[in-house]
Amino acid sequence: MRHKSVDYVFALLRLGIGWIFLWAFLDKVFALGFSTQPGKGWLSGFSPTEGFLKFATKGPFAELYQSLAGIAVVDWLFMLGLLLIGLAFMLGMGMRIATYSGVLMYAFMYTAGFIPPEHNPFLDEHIMFPLLMIGLNMMHAGRVWGLGAWWSKTQLVKKFPIFE
């Protein structure tokens, strides 16, 4: 039996991961001046993926990712992914599917810049954050300071466990 303080650490990590995704969504929508320059947000008609996909992709998959730059469906999938993964982790519900989606999103981001990471020849946040997300899901971190305990008892989740 683990100590209750461990659950609080897991809950804080879950909230942190959720905020990373949700903040990326908000910054790209409203161009808050962090990763997205002011005036160049999605609401202003700019593509949230075009700059990265067109100019920052490297390695053997660069041409594939560059061909996706500025496509509306890609923008919508990316932005919905950021929003829904962020909300799922912040609320502590739907974490299983959010974890799978987050791992897939990080895999895409890792292969988009498929060169050794800048500060370490193998390991970076594109590998560590998915591992953290998997661990938080396995530890049911959404049940502390979140709606996960309630959500797991709903008929939807009982019928479709992927939504837990």
pLDDT in tens, 68-119: 999 999 999 999 999 999 999 999 999 999 999 999 999 999 899 877 667 7
pLDDT tens figures, 20-55: 999 999 999 999 999 999 999 999 999 999 999 999
Backbone angles phi, psi at 146, to 5 degrees: -150, 180
- pLDDT for residue 160 is more than 90: yes
Q: Is the pLDDT of residue 135 over 70?
A: yes
Instruction: Tell me if 94 sits within 8 A of 88, measured CB to CB.
Output: yes
Angle at alpha carbon of residue 50, lines to 22 and 74, rounded to 5°: 65
Bridge-partner residues for 58, per DSSP? 113
DSSP 113: B
- Nearest CA to 18 out of 120, 129, 116, 107 is that of 129
**Cα torsion at 14, 43, 37, 53 (round to 10°)?**
80
Q: How distant, in Å, are the alpha carbons of 57, 62, 115, 116, 117 from that of 121?
A: 18, 19, 9, 5, 6
Q: For residues 134-161, give the mean pLDDT.
A: 97
Neighbours of 135 (CB within 10 A): 13
Q: Can you name the residues that pair with 143 across neighbouring β-strands?
A: none
